[in-house]
């Protein structure tokens, strides 16, 4: 539970983009809340490729390191929850999470990631997700053999 419910910025999503925003805001001494439920869109990825200084690390390892670095800024707070509602208020926004708590902010960042959805085209359904990253998979396979 967080005592003070008012923040300069609330970030919904605490993976790479949310943590990067949180770090920048922490460095600027902005009172920031990062709301994340620990269910990143890259959870199925075994390890990273072409991510400078993090090549071969798992997404959870990269996120753990980033969390540790961002937590060094005492103006950045973390909440392990899911944001379920955002309402425009007189002074900005009201963000409600699943346990019923609400938080106020004047600035809101959505860093929730993406979900890859295949278009309903027959050729895509037969070939699968590999169409989207064939070159990267081929390159990764080459180096793993």
- Give the model's pLDDT for residue 141: 45
- Give the model's pLDDT for residue 51: 83
Of 55, 44, 42, give the one whose Cα is nearest residue 143. Answer: 55
- Give the model's pLDDT for residue 140: 47
- Give the model's pLDDT for residue 47: 87
Query: What residues contact 34, with CB distance under 8 A and at least 6 apart?
Result: 11, 13, 14, 18, 19, 22, 70, 76, 77, 78, 79
Torsion of CA 50, 60, 39, 46, to 10 degrees: 60
pLDDT tens for the chain, 145 residues: list them.
678 899 999 999 999 999 999 999 999 999 999 999 998 878 888 888 888 898 999 989 999 999 999 999 999 999 999 999 999 999 899 999 999 999 999 999 999 887 766 666 565 555 544 444 444 444 444 444 4
Domains and CATH numbers, the chain: 6-114 (3.50.50.60), 117-145 (no CATH)
SS3 79: strand
- Here the tokens at position 86 are 């955002």
């Amino acid at each position: 539970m967080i005592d003070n419910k008012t923040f300069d910025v609330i970030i919904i999503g605490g993976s790479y983009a949310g943590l990067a925003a949180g770090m920048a805001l922490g460095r600027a001494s902005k009172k920031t809340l990062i709301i994340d439920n620990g269910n990143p869109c890259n959870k199925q990825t075994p390890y990273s490729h072409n991510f400078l200084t993090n090549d071969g690390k798992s997404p959870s390892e990269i996120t753990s390191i980033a969390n540790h670095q961002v937590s060094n800024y005492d103006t950045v707070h973390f909440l392990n929850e899911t944001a379920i509602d955002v309402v425009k208020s007189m002074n900005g926004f009201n963000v409600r999470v699943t346990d019923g708590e609400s938080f106020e902010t004047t600035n809101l960042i959505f860093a929730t990631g993406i979900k890859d959805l295949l278009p309903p085209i027959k050729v895509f359904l037969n070939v699968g997700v590999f169409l989207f990253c064939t070159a990267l998979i081929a390159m990764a396979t080459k180096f793993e053999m």
